Structure 1
């Protein structure tokens, strides 16, 4: 399971074939089974092959992390509020105002059941498993953002692909710097929850 051929095949199946297949029309139950099976395989590889113990990364620099996230969040907030004002002013913060209970439930569910699994796959597995296949760190980060964006192709929305590509770059850089699934999951959750809050959640499958 450590050979280059095996890793390339594994990469192609997990990050290319499976996400693209989800954009095709076939029964949802089959898609769900493929997704669950794939995630179980990822956990197996992380634990049994890569030897992960899911402990906090040593020497986490919390203050540095929060400062960086705060600056990036301010930029994202300004851009997304401006976008909503220009394109869908009536939808700005509409879930927060009209369905606050749904808003709270979805923030929790998204952070726990969507963000963390995504980061285990697209950051933890990707960085630990495939770094040796690349000689260029910039290309390594670019490919990570690309496959993260590709994982959202089933939305069939160019803006979603752009947002997730840019988000993928941010998350890849954070993981590359911190080596912490927890920190990159927190950052991912903050930005994703904000998109739902500001009124752009419908693009990413949020209800309301």
Structure 2
């Protein structure tokens, strides 16, 4: 399971073939089963093969993390607010103002049942398994972002693909710097929750 050939096949199946298959029209129960089995396999590999310990590192630089993340968040908030205002201002903060219970519920589900598993797969697992295969670190981060974007191909929306590629770059760089699933998950949740808050939830698959 540690050979480069095995890892290359593994990467293709998990990060290319499965996401593309999810964009096809077939029984959602089969898709769910594939996703669940894939996630179980990933957790198994992290625990048994890569020797990952699911615990919070004590030496995390929280001050630096928040300084960088909040700066990026402010830039994202300004750009997306202007974008929604120009494209369809009726959606601006619509769910927050009109359906507060749904808003809180979706943020909770998204943060804990979507963000963390995504980061476990696309950052923790991906970096642990494949970082040694590509010597050019920026190319590795670019590939990670491309594959993260590909994971959202089921939405069949070009803007979603662009946003998730850009997000993938940010998250990969954060993980590269911090090596922390917790920190990159916080960053991911912050940006994702904001997009839902500002009114871009429809295109990202959030119910509204």
Q: 2:167: which partner in 1?
A: 167
In 1: Cα distance, 2:203 partner to 2:45 partner: 32
Q: 1:152: which partner in 2?
A: 152
In 1: Cα distance, 2:131 partner to 2:84 partner: 38
- Does the 8 Å CA contact 1:92/1:199 hold for their aligned counterparts? yes
TM superposition shift of 1:22: 0.2
In 1: Cα distance, 2:17 partner to 2:181 partner: 24
Q: 2:125: which partner in 1?
A: 125
In 2: Cα distance, 1:111 partner to 1:128 partner: 23
2:100 is aligned with 1:80? no
TM superposition shift of 1:55: 1.2
2:45 is aligned with 1:45? yes
Q: 2:178: which partner in 1?
A: 178
In 2: Cα distance, 1:57 partner to 1:119 partner: 16
In 1: Cα distance, 2:36 partner to 2:202 partner: 24
Per-residue deviation, residues 2-34 of structure 1 (Å, max 9, x unmatched):
000000000000000000000011110000000
Taking only aligned residues, the RMSD between alpha carbons, in angstroms, comes to 0.5
In 1: Cα distance, 2:76 partner to 2:32 partner: 32
Q: 2:56: which partner in 1?
A: 56
In 2: Cα distance, 1:46 partner to 1:206 partner: 30
- Does the 8 Å CA contact 1:160/1:204 hold for their aligned counterparts? yes
Q: TM-score, normalised by structure 2?
A: 0.99
TM superposition shift of 1:53: 1.2
TM superposition shift of 1:58: 3.8
In 2: Cα distance, 1:147 partner to 1:58 partner: 30
In 2: Cα distance, 1:39 partner to 1:101 partner: 30
Per-residue deviation, residues 142-184 of structure 1 (Å, max 9, x unmatched):
0000000000000000000000000000000000000000000
- Structure 2 residue runs of 5 or longer lacking an equivalent are none
TM superposition shift of 1:57: 2.5
In 2: Cα distance, 1:76 partner to 1:57 partner: 28
- Does the 8 Å CA contact 1:57/1:179 hold for their aligned counterparts? no
Q: TM-score, normalised by structure 1?
A: 0.99
Q: 2:34: which partner in 1?
A: 34
